[in-house]
Amino acid sequence: MLSTPHLSLWNAPYMYPMKGAFLTSETLLGNLWITLPVQKLFHNYVFTTNFLIFVAFVLTAYTTFLFLFEVTESYWGSLVGGLIFSFSPYRWAHIVHIQLLTIYFYPLCLLFFTRYLKTRKTSSLFWTAMTFCGQFYCCIYMAVTLLTLLTFLLFFHLFAERSSSQRTNRPNSPNCPNSKLLADPTFWKQLAFVGTPSVALLLPLAYQYFRVSYEWSFSHGVSTNSIYSCELFSFLSPSLYAKNYIWLKNLLQNHVRTGEEMNVFTGFIPWILAGVGLSSRNITRHSTLSILRRRFFWAALFMASIMLGPVFIWRNQATSIPLLPYLLVYSIIPGAKAMRVPSRFNQPLLLCTTVLIAIGVEALLQRIDRSPRPNRLLRGMKKSGGTAIFAGIVGALIVLLLLVDYRLVPEPGIQVPSLSQFPEVYQYLNQGDPQRPIVELPMFVSNPPYRFEYFQYQTLHWRPNVGSQGSFVTPATQELSSRTEREPDIRALMSLGMSPADTVIIHPDLYPQNIREKWEKADLSPFGFRFENKFGNDLVWERIERKIKTDPLLKVSRMEKTDEAKAINYTHLWVQPKLGWTYFTEGLVPIHIRIEMENEILQFDRRVEFPTYLLPNETGMINLGKFRINPKKLKRFSVESPLLAPYSETLH
């Protein structure tokens, strides 16, 4: 798509004509070093996607191994931990969320941050920042969880691993592990040195995201977050892909909160190995292992507490008991308000747990190595055969893990047709003007099931599409979908005439049987379209003119106030167009409100949602919000907006 002339990086060809549509989802730009050469070589989007999934699993296992080896210095423990994390059934269950899989920069960032806390070297802090930027460009969602984890690790290091004098007194020597961090001028110089290139790398993408988020209000309320939060017993709810634990899933069904996002159980073996690592005391090779073990144990608990969401949930019912950890993250961490699913903190939870797993594996191996007479032969084999006996033990452990915890339910996947096998109508679209926007009916936006085939077939022509099926949908797209998913009445056909679409593709066979024939016979010519052709069952109409005129401004027909007795007025404006009304480009519209009281004048600047489709003389509503005012002292109410005709009303 990047090489297609009429497309831009930010304005993806869906939800047309929204500006910045690409930013309603993950950009995955950090994966271009993998995907771009493969796509250029094979010209196959499906193969490129599958290749990225394969690389994501392998690279994440490798970078996790590097991180664990930095922390534990245990080869076999790090290997087992890397495999446990990357190939967890939880990650397989999210294979459709490719952005959640591409976190190979995540363990590297923890590696360099751990190294920095140990050595205070500027190079370690620099690579911490660079790997964070890499994760940010791969998946902003997971970068927010990474920022949360780094913040916790820093605070834990300052306030739990060091005394107050160590936190504030000046160091005796620079780059010393025991130096006093906050009072060290070198620390602040390092931050300034590392912060400059980091901001330069993050700003281009972060600015675009914040701009679009401001225009469309992407932030989610705590009530929405609680829908996708875990409860305590959710940590025992296995993924649908965990074949050996279907019995456990059935046991919990209808008793605790379960579902695609809340199935976060990763098996028993990771917990057993983590328990061994947490309880073991006689680990050699690493002088600071007890500190690191404690650090990542508490980090794992903190991640688990965030997964519980903003309020405590019991038996799938949200209570009124607030949970501070998630509320702190929601309020403090940049980007956290745009996150919808607290349970996705499960990946950083599992990654922190792998530190304990690696220590547990190392403890088991050392226990075998030190055991008395029955294992003298094994020790002799180790001396004569190098690490052969250890490789056998670890190999048996991995096989056991795969057979018990990581045995997956076979998934046949979806067979995607090649470009030459696409339906004929898309070959037709590929031959037309690439800048003429299209809409495919039914849109399946307001009433899924999702039709991801629309996106697949769009790769042939890349025409801008008025529709969308992402997690975010513009109000205009939602409204047009709602009006056209039923029978083709005058309201639906006029809305198509007012829409930005220049080409309308109707798939009658995708409509319910009772209205299928009506869409086959629908006549769009009175609304500016000409019937072009029929390709199989698909009908194509092309716009020849815009017959339906629209108003540039909405007019207020009346104002409605409620709850006046409580001195909290919820004010609604009822608006009407004379000719018709469409609004697509932005989600929230600036509006200025002036309220004249007996002794004072109140003024408010707000951003509110406007109606997206209104037929001639059809009425819509604008919610201005609430005002703490005494209705008995009101004298005049005025409203101004770029999309609204000036309105003023004398109240007394």
Q: Judging by beta carbons within 10 Å of its beta carbon (0-12, 13-18, 19+), is residue 95 exposed, middle or buried? A: middle
Whether 646 and 592 have beta carbons less than 8 Å apart is answered as no
Contacts of 42 (CB under 8 A, 6+ apart): 48
Please report, for residues 240, 491, 492, 556, 582, the alpha-carbon distance to residue 548 in angstroms, rounded to integers and kept in the order given. Answer: 50, 12, 13, 21, 11
d(CA 515, CA 419): 31
Mean of pLDDT values over 281-300: 79
Give the 3-state secondary structure of residue 628: strand
Q: Which CATH architecture has domain 555-650?
A: Sandwich (2.60)
Residue 199 tokens, joined = 């901001």
Q: What is the pLDDT of residues 131-172, one digit of tens each?
A: 999 999 999 999 999 999 999 999 999 888 865 545 455 444
DSSP string, 385-409: HTTHHHHHHHHHHHHHHHHHTS-B-
Mean of pLDDT values over 441-454: 77
pLDDT band at 369 (very low <50, low <70, confident <90, very high): low
Specify the pLDDT at position 185. Answer: 84
Contacts of 99 (CB under 8 A, 6+ apart): 25, 26, 28, 138, 139, 141, 142
Q: In what order do the strands lie in the sheet with 644-650?
A: 601-608, 589-597, 634-641, 644-650
Specify the pLDDT at position 567. Answer: 66
DSSP string, 273-321: HHHHHHH-----S-TTHHHHHHHHHHHHHHHHHHHT-SEEEETTEEEEE
Q: What is the pLDDT of residues 50-77, one digit of tens each?
A: 999 999 999 999 999 999 999 998 898 9
Domain boundaries, the chain: 44-404, 426-543, 555-650
Smallest Cα–Cα separation from 341: which of 478, 142, 548, 529? 142
Specify the pLDDT at position 136. Answer: 96
**pLDDT beyond 60 at 631:** yes
The percentage of the chain sitting over the pLDDT mark of 90, rounded to a whole number, equals: 51
Contacts of 515 (CB under 8 A, 6+ apart): 486, 487, 488
Q: Packing angle between helix 45-72 and helix 105-119, nearest 10 degrees?
A: 20
Whether 182 and 155 have beta carbons less than 8 Å apart is answered as no
Q: What is the pLDDT of residues 175-184, one digit of tens each?
A: 444 456 777 7
Residue 201 tokens, joined = 């790398």
Contacts of 37 (CB under 8 A, 6+ apart): none
d(CA 257, CA 313): 9
User: Which residue type is seen at 237?
Assistant: S
